Chains A and B, each alone.
Chain A
């Protein structure tokens, strides 16, 4: 009997664990979201684009989307004063384990919360993960300047006005908005993460993949430049000379010289 009682307690405990686990799984699986398009073609006249996002989260929660990819080493030059007078590059620094693209999108509700220690969804998250070489460099200062540099190029950014909400049934709400895709974002695969935040805690996540690929003329030029560099270089020179000659002849024909 005693054995039976213990077993029942254990079974109930086990059942509770399974129930809680499975309920949380069900809860997380509800955080589905769509990105449109999830594949971007980089053609001849491509100038960046916008990816629409849409999904459903609990009524009292907020959505934060994060796009990142192409993690690796980024070599930098540090600027400083020489002889107390002239500003120039004074040393080499390498940032390790940093992405080439880092875009965070949310509603204005999250403006001051993205980098809070409990969430850690913004630049602070990157700074923590990042390593710097040489190690004696001021990591926080260099990272701040690095972020400024990449924000200027459009590949880093925190956009806290890009998501809006609308009510839905069953204590749920719908979020929608867009992720700005800068023209400098290279072809390849990027991770789009959804973080569902409630009471300054992440209560669930979702993930999608976004791919960019060069097509048409840009793809042809890239293939030639990287796979057949000598032919590409000679071809570029021949076409340049030809263009120069044609222009020269055209001008002569028009009696332009003089």
Chain B
């Protein structure tokens, strides 16, 4: 009862369960501006979907969720298209580089080790920094004025010294166009190595490195994720035949709904509240991953093709 057969995944799933998973991830997407791939793919694998099909079909559903989320944020004036396009160009360059890096790592052996360590360090580092920072913000604590001013001015001076300065009206900042290109490439490299969309790295980069306001960050991140996932879905369908459209459609029904609700929640939360919630989520995933690395697995082999 309530089961549906997924022809590409080669398995049947409970419709309500997949709908619920989609809704949960869509909600996160709307609130935080992350694609949710780093959560959804492991959850789908847990429910019997082959890893390659889970990752590719997830990209397809993120297209729908991020369209819905981008539209909602665009209506609220939260999308900086200029910044989004530059980050996207950087992301594509970085992603292409990252794919080559992972090829070299695999040839050298121990690629899995490096991927997992990158995951834990990135998740742990980003999550802990965001958590502490937003906690301070929520408590109304400020760092000693002199130190902060010194640090900010040094970084600000560095930003101003870069060539090709341009004004980003929506974000209310003026920085070099090289910055979004460089940071976009950096996230693209990491995303390719880690096999995820990179939203959970892109959001902190926009907040801390590009100094964009949190509400614009979420809308712009969704805009960028939308295009990344369109590219991934078409490439995976064409090259690997791993996009299960039925699975994506089931996830979509839940995620588009979840994304809308998430956007409403986002609008009612303060920037620091959004940051601390995202930080907590990232830290939970980090702890879960660390647990998986430290505890002996139940089965000592896995089918090839997963993470």
Contacts and interface: CB of A to CB of B under 8 A. Distances in A.
Interface of A: 42-48, 74-80, 82, 85-90, 92-93, 141-142, 145-146, 148-149, 152-153, 183-184, 186, 214, 217-219, 221-222, 225-226, 229-230, 232-237, 239-241, 243-248, 251-252, 256-258
Contacts of B110: 82
B112 interface: yes
B7 interface: yes
Given A87-B297, A88-B113, A229 B241 contact: yes
Given A244-B65, A251-B72, A257 B301 contact: no
B255 to A, nearest CB: 9
Contact of A86 (B61, B248, B293, B303): B293
A236 B54 CA distance: 15
B233 interface: yes
Contacts of B256: 243-244, 246-248
Interface stretch (B144-152, B199-207, B259-267): B259-267
B303 A74 contact: yes
A47 B3 contact: yes
Contact of A244 (B6, B68, B239, B244): B68
B60 A240 contact: yes
Q: Which one of A77, A142, A256 has the highest number of Cβ atoms from chain B below 10 Å of its Cβ?
A: A77
Given A87-B296, A240-B248, A82 B113 contact: yes
B257 A247 contact: yes
B24 to A, nearest CB: 16
Contacts of B248: 236, 240
A145 B301 contact: yes
B301 A78 contact: yes
B103 to A, nearest CB: 15
B233 A236 contact: yes
